[in-house]
């Protein structure tokens, strides 16, 4: 039986991080909502350690050593309700695209090479709403390229049920309920007094 994931609301909070877009694919939930599954690689070696999640920091501290026998550490960590902002450079102020309701999952720290060629990277899978701007341009332009990300907790959570992260499914069209009144969705936000 697998370990239970620890959910955190902090993932390099507000720090701009270099990331490599390894892969992406479109998904469709059983409710016909379009999602994007994005595979990102974040270098950890020779990068700022500020705001690094504790679970990542623990694995990094062991794996950064040249004498470490570990080459791969899967983390039981997930982040829900995140906002990721993507930038084309580490200095530019204007973001390329901002996405709310992001879930970061399947976090793995991977170490390769030795001494001066050593690399320690965090590989993550991020699930997010399939914004038109992402699907039509941004993902195609940045696939297999370096981008820069800033992540903050946004309280917008993307609810996925088991099995809803599968690739697009061939589903039967739903009944046309255009005469029915639209259902309202409400976000649960804490009340501040």
Q: How confident is the model at residue 5 (pLDDT cuts 50, 70, 90)?
A: low
pLDDT tens digits, 20-50: 999 999 999 889 999 999 999 999 998 888 8
Average pLDDT, the chain: 80
Exposed/middle/buried for residue 27 (C-beta within 10 Å: 0-12, 13-18, 19+): buried
- Give the pLDDT confidence of 62-83 residue by residue, as tens digits: 998 888 888 999 998 888 889 9
Q: Does the pLDDT at position 152 exceed 70?
A: yes
Q: Measuring CA to CA, which residue among 48, 105, 103, 40 is closest to residue 75?
A: 105
């Amino acid at each position: 039986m697998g370990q239970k994931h620890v959910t955190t609301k902090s993932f390099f909070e507000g720090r701009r991080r270099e990331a490599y877009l390894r892969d992406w694919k479109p998904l469709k939930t059983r409710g016909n909502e379009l999602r994007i599954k994005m595979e990102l690689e974040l270098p950890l070696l020779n990068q700022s350690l500020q705001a690094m999640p504790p679970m990542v920091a623990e694995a990094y501290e062991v794996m950064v050593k040249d004498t470490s026998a570990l080459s791969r550490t899967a983390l039981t960590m997930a982040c829900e309700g995140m906002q990721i902002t993507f930038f084309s450079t580490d200095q530019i102020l204007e973001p390329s695209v901002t996405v709310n309701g992001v879930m970061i999952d399947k976090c793995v720290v991977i170490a390769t090479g030795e001494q001066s060629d050593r690399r320690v990277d965090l590989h993550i899978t991020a699930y997010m709403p399939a914004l038109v701007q992402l699907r039509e341009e941004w993902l195609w332009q940045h696939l297999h390229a370096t981008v820069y990300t800033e992540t903050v907790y946004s309280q917008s959570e993307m609810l996925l049920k088991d099995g809803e992260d599968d690739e697009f499914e061939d589903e039967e069209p739903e009944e046309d309920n255009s005469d029915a009144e639209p259902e309202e969705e409400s976000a649960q936000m804490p009340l501040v007094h």
